[in-house]
Each structure stands twice: as C-alpha cells, then as structure tokens.
Homo-oligomer: A and B are copies of this chain.
Amino acid sequence: MNNKRDLVLYIAASLDGYIATEDDSLDWLFNVEGEGDNGISEFYETVDTVLMGKKTYDWIVKHESGEFPYKNKECYVFTRSTMEDTEDVKFTNKNVVGLTNELKSQEGSNIWLVGGGELLQSFLKEKLVDEIILTVAPTIIGKGIPLFNKGDYQLDLILKGTRTFNQFVELHYEVKK
C-alpha cells in the first residue's frame, strides 16, 4: 500500500501525438516491433484501479477477444448517461475531480488513467495527473485522435527517466504541482 496514490496517465502515441487514427484503428501501433510486452505488465502491477472514458470502454469491448482485460482491477468508466454496473466495471457520471479525490482519500495502489482524449483533457486541465508515462511509436500518422487536445492549460513536468523497448521509447514524467 502507498500512502500516496498517484494518478498515472500511461499511454502510447505516435510521434505526432495521436493515440488512434480517425477511424479508431491502432494498427500503426500494433505493427511496431517492441521488446517483450514493452513494460506493460510491470506497470500494471503498480495499479489497482483503472479509469477510462465510455468510448475507450466501448472500443475495448468491441476489439478485445475473451475476458475483459482489467478484470482484476477496480475499473471506472466515465459516462454522462446512467448505466448499470457490470461485473467488470462501475459506470460513473461523477466529475473527474470528485471521483479522483474520493479515490485518493482511500488506501490503495496507483490509479491508471487509460484514456481517451476528452477524458484526458479534463484530468490535465484540473491538474489531477501526477505522472505521465508516454510510449512513443516510431511513426507519424498525420491525423487522428490527439493525445493532448488543444486548450488553455499548461503543465510543467519533471523527467523521471526514459527506456527503449526496441522501436518504442518510453518517456516518464512527474507533473509539477
């Protein structure tokens, strides 16, 4: 157990900053030659809670074959609608500040902010993200779903380290508070 639960944005993007193509394809990402699992399972051990937007949840349900991938974690899906929880996820229409404060007041491990674009921006704007771990894919895709939406926000970061997994580069930052 940590005394302090960090909220971590852990995500992959193209060099030009897209997390998916306009038609939500990730082929440009899955085609990259990495190394092992590119550090994912190591990271996954550090979190016990997973946050995502409804679009990301729908994408996962549609594309992942077999079990829901975050089955052994507490998984919250942000949506504006009222939806019934499943055995895998809790749907929430709380605002991001409210839910984050609630989670951080509880004991636990780190919290993974999975995506997507709109949800990330709310978290960044509200300065709720403690760490950013960005895995950069060696490709420029020209257009798509941006990792960082244009907006009136500014965050200073502290570089914690970099790692390479074959063609991937992992950039690890702490957000200055």
A97 within 8 A of B: no
Q: Mark A160-171, 1 if CB is under 8 A from B, else 0.
A: 001010111101
- In Å, the complex CA distance between A142 and B121 comes to 10
Determine how close the nearest CB of chain B comes to the CB of A29; give it in whole angstroms: 12
Known contacts A17-B17, A159-B167, A162-B169; is-contact A142 B136 (Cβ 8 Å): no
> Are A155 and B134 in contact (CB-based, < 8 A)?
no
- In Å, the complex CA distance between A17 and B167 comes to 20
A70 within 8 A of B: no
> Are A171 and B139 in contact (CB-based, < 8 A)?
no
> Are A140 and B157 in contact (CB-based, < 8 A)?
yes
Closest to A28 in B: B154
Selected contact of A156 from candidates B134, B139, B158, B162, CB within 8 Å? B139
> Are B162 and A162 in contact (CB-based, < 8 A)?
yes
What residues on B are CB-neighbors of A171 within 8 Å? Answer: 15, 136, 169
- In Å, the complex CA distance between A132 and B136 comes to 14
Closest to A165 in B: B159
Interface segment, one of A74-82, A107-115, A143-151: A143-151
Interface residues of A (CB under 8 A from B): 15-17, 28, 124, 132, 134, 136, 138-143, 147-148, 150-159, 162, 164, 166-169, 171, 173
